[in-house]
Copies of this chain bind each other. A is one copy, B any other.
């Protein structure tokens, strides 16, 4: 099987940034990291947090994130590794960026 996991679709260069872009350029990956930031979550609670993402995808993503060393599974469920947390810092930065961004633009909402 091993469908996605490592293929690095868009790039075969192996450049770390490309590997990363490939990983986080998949739906839910960043969201999962985001939801895991406050603390460990069980499979089902994580699923709920992500708006009832299908378990198929959640499991696929968790597998990839674990292989990437960003997430691991313990007694309390899934949680970020040290790497995961340091990447999470960047997500926090993006959160701040996004607020300003949403602030000063025509607001494409509705």
- Write the residues of chain A forming the contact surface with B, with a CB cutoff of 8 angstroms: 6, 9-11, 14, 16-21, 24-31, 34, 50-51, 53, 67-69, 83, 86-87, 90-91, 93-95, 97-99, 101-102, 105-106, 108-109
Residue pair B51, A34 in contact (C-beta under 8 Å): no
- Copy number in the complex reads 2
The distance in angstroms between the C-alpha atoms of A87 and B101, with both chains bound, is: 9
Given the contacts A90-B90, A93-B90, A108-B67, A25 and B29 also touching, CB distance less than 8 Å? yes
Given the contacts A25-B24, A94-B17, A109-B14, A83 and B101 also touching, CB distance less than 8 Å? yes
Q: Which 3 A-B residue pairings sit nearest by Cβ, starting from the closest?
A: A16-B98, A16-B102, A20-B98
